[in-house]
Amino acid sequence: MDHGEYCKALFREIDRLAALLSDADLSTPVPSCPAWDLAKLATHVGATERWVTAMITSGSVEKLPFADYEQGVPTDSTAMSDWVAAGVDALISALVAAPAHQQVWTLGGQTRPTLFWARRMLHEATVHRVDAALALKAPATIDPTVAIDGIDEILTILPFAPRLAGFGAVRGEGQSIALVATDADARWRIDVGSVGYEWSRSAAADATVTATAPVAGLYQFLWGRPSVPQITGDSGLLARWSAATAF
């Protein structure tokens, strides 16, 4: 996917989320995000939109205080829906206007081109739109192209997540995980070490454990959302991976 495709897909995902929120009971629990209800989920998404927009428009190479963007949030479902939708309009405008070479703060404290945030926000929006759909018992489909890109993305950004500090618990040195899509020509190999991992888009016939599912299911599995892939091999390794990398 290129920058334009990320922006278009991001707009679609937020539009779908806003539609789910428009007449929802915001006190509805979100099972895939324990301790969250729809109000908290929507606040998080809307605040993240504005936080990222501020970093892009200011060209900040320092992390801005996230709490500043959680203020003045609507409590009515229709107003909340409009607030979330307005956030993506401003975000996409910022992404389109920013110089391609402009560096800003990103995950792990690293500075990267602003284009990083188009991809990151697409998957932020997709995962939380799925969370809202699951909470409301609505369809939670994911475009296969987005899901494939999202698997690449999560495997790329995981090393910058603070929670990966406990990765040694995986104890997978010399072992590997294969992810195989049943509805797309896509597969991944994750070689697990004692303190980290390497991944590639390749077959892994000799993998320690293989998870097989539609690509949207693999995407949800990696994000710790409900998914039941077919597992062959050492299921314990896969369980330890999930526990160590859960968002």
CATH of the domain at 162: 3.30.1050.10
140, 172, 204 - which closes a domain:
140
Structure confidence by residue, pLDDT tens digits, 189-212: 999 877 778 899 998 788 999 999
pTM for the whole thing? 0.93
What does DSSP say about strands 209-213 and 175-181: parallel, antiparallel, or unpaired? Answer: parallel
- How confident is the model at residue 244, as a pLDDT? 75
- Please provide residue 171's backbone torsions phi and psi, each rounded to the nearest 5 degrees: 50, 55
Please work out, in degrees rounded to the nearest 5, the angle formed at the alpha carbon of residue 113 by the alpha carbons of 52 and 242: 70
- How confident is the model at residue 239, as a pLDDT? 86
Residues 74 and 172 in one domain: no
Residues 154 and 123 in one domain: no
Residues 134 and 159 in one domain: no
- How confident is the model at residue 203, as a pLDDT? 81
Whole-angstrom Cα Rg for the chain: 18
Distance CA 223, CA 75 (A): 28
- Please provide residue 189's backbone torsions phi and psi, each rounded to the nearest 5 degrees: -120, 130
Distances (CA, A) of 164 to 6, 20, 213: 26, 32, 25
Domain span at 28: 3-140
- Could you tell me how many helices (H) and strands (E) the chain has, helices first? 7, 7
Residues 88 and 121 in one domain: yes
- How confident is the model at residue 224, as a pLDDT? 87
Residue 241 CB-half CA count within 13 A:
27
- How confident is the model at residue 237, as a pLDDT? 87
pLDDT band of residue 245 (cuts 50, 70, 90) is confident
